[in-house]
Structure formats: structure tokens, C-alpha cells
Amino acid sequence: MTSADRGRDAAVNRALWRVVNEQYTDGQAGQRWSAPDIVWGIFDIPEDEIGALGDVRGKDVAELGCGTAYFSAWLARRGARPVAVDVSEAQLATAQRCQDRFELRFPLVQADATALPLAPDSCDLVVSEYGASLWCDPDGWIGEAARILRPGGRLVFLTNSVLVSLCVPADEGPAAAKLARGQRDVARIHWSDGGVEFHPGHGELIATLRRHGLEVESLRELHAPPGARAHSYYEIAEPQWAEQWPVEDLWCARLGGGSADGDVEHMPVVHGDRAARGAGGPGVG
């Protein structure tokens, strides 16, 4: 994709998130900011059970596609120094109001995650929770994440599972037990009533990470826990569906060239990297 293509997608998504902010995220932000625990995804899986982030104390963190920046707030309370980036002024205005209300301040930056105004080698951790990880061209945002990470720094991101993106209906409603489109169709998909999303297959995503010098540490495929309730706004998948199939992919990767700090117990990669080895080129970070 060219930077002009990325700019057009960012404009579509900025317009979408102004609407979603009015409909949902602005009203929910206070509750999310005040939540005591870090949780992942539409079924609120506790980070304490997953252990993807490790100890964030003293770490320079960038959150890409932060929305109302509650995830950065959670990290700041645990001693990290976040910079929260989003392309939507509406979402950042909500984040700013929450900063004032909760008296917890960190930089909020309006920018496209595929063209970051952040210095190279300035972060120990880059996170994205349903942010750039879903809404940006993978080569663009992962390239930027690799550029701003220090050697040995980590990239942790959550997005829809590839499978759920294949099973949701084209208009509205949760995933069905039936494939609705081909996998190549979701690598970049512009929903008729929504935004532009990116759901590369696992092999393609691993190849992109490796091309930018990032080694995959783990891929957790998240399911609904027993007794889970359907999300009140994001109707991606019902609990019954997500008990059977993964609804979200949580990736952890590390930029080569530095020493691991060894504070996270890493799970094995779930999927093979045959495609990645075939496509591996020099990192551009």
C-alpha cells in the first residue's frame, strides 16, 4: 500500500470512530478507566491469567490506536510511562477528559499509526488493543512499531481472530458457524456500513513481523470463558460461538538485537512459520 492509500483508510476510520465515540466509547470511558484490573478482549480475560505484558514498571510504552486511552491508563497506574496515539480527535478528547477526571496524565498524540511522530528507539513496549492491530495496514503500523522500539523491546497486540472475520455476516450480527467469505478477502476489508479492517492470515502476519525484525514469542487464541456474557455493544461473537472457536488473537513479539528481560513466561507459538521463513528479509526497523 502507498502512504496515500493508508491516509485514505485512516480518514474512513477516523469518521467511523467519531460515530462510535458518540454512540458508545465516550459513555464507557469512565468505567474502563476506573477498572482495577487489566483485561483483554470482549470477554474481559484477566491479564493476570495470561501474562502477556510482564512487568511494565519504568517502561516507555506507546499505545497505537488508543481510543479513549484506558489501556494506557492501566499501564500508567502500574508504573509505565505511556504515550497514547490515536487518529481520532473525538476519541482523544474523551481521553483528555478522563485524564482530568482521574488526575492521571500522559501524552496523547493525534497521529496515524502508520506514520508516527515518535523518535526511533524510544520505547520498550508497544501495545495495541483492537487499535492499529485491526485498523491499519500491517506492514505500515508494524514497521512503525519496530522503528520506535529499542532492541529487545516487545510488541503486544490484540485483534479479532482471522476465523471470526471469516464468519461474521457482511451487514450486522455476530459470527455464525459458517464461513461467509474467503481468507484473502479479509486481508483488507472495507465493510459496507463501517470502516476498513485488516485481518492477514497468521502466516502472512508472521512474515510481516519477521520482515521488520520482530520474532514471535507467542500467539494466544482467546476463547470465551465459562459463563461469559455477550458484549453489550461489540456484537462480534456470542459466548457460545467463542467457547468453540477463538474470537481473538493476542500476539507477543520481540525486536531482535537486544537481550530479553526474562520477566514473562512465554508460551510456544501455536502456528508454524513456514511462510515466514520463505518471506523473511532484512528488518527495516
- Sites of contact with ligand SAM (CB under 6 A): 10, 13, 17, 25, 65-67, 71, 85-88, 91, 112-114, 129-132, 135-136
User: Which residue, 5 or 243, has its beta carbon nearer to ligand SAM?
Assistant: 5
User: Which residue, 73 or 269, has its beta carbon nearer to ligand SAM?
Assistant: 73
**Residue nearest ligand SAM (C-beta atom):** 67
User: Which residue, 141 or 241, has its beta carbon nearer to ligand SAM?
Assistant: 141
Smallest gap from residue 273 Cβ to ligand SAM (A):
27
User: Which residue, 70 or 273, has its beta carbon nearer to ligand SAM?
Assistant: 70
Smallest gap from residue 230 Cβ to ligand SAM (A):
16
Smallest gap from residue 199 Cβ to ligand SAM (A):
14
Smallest gap from residue 268 Cβ to ligand SAM (A):
27
Backbone angles phi, psi at 81, to 5 degrees: -115, 90
Smallest gap from residue 274 Cβ to ligand SAM (A):
30
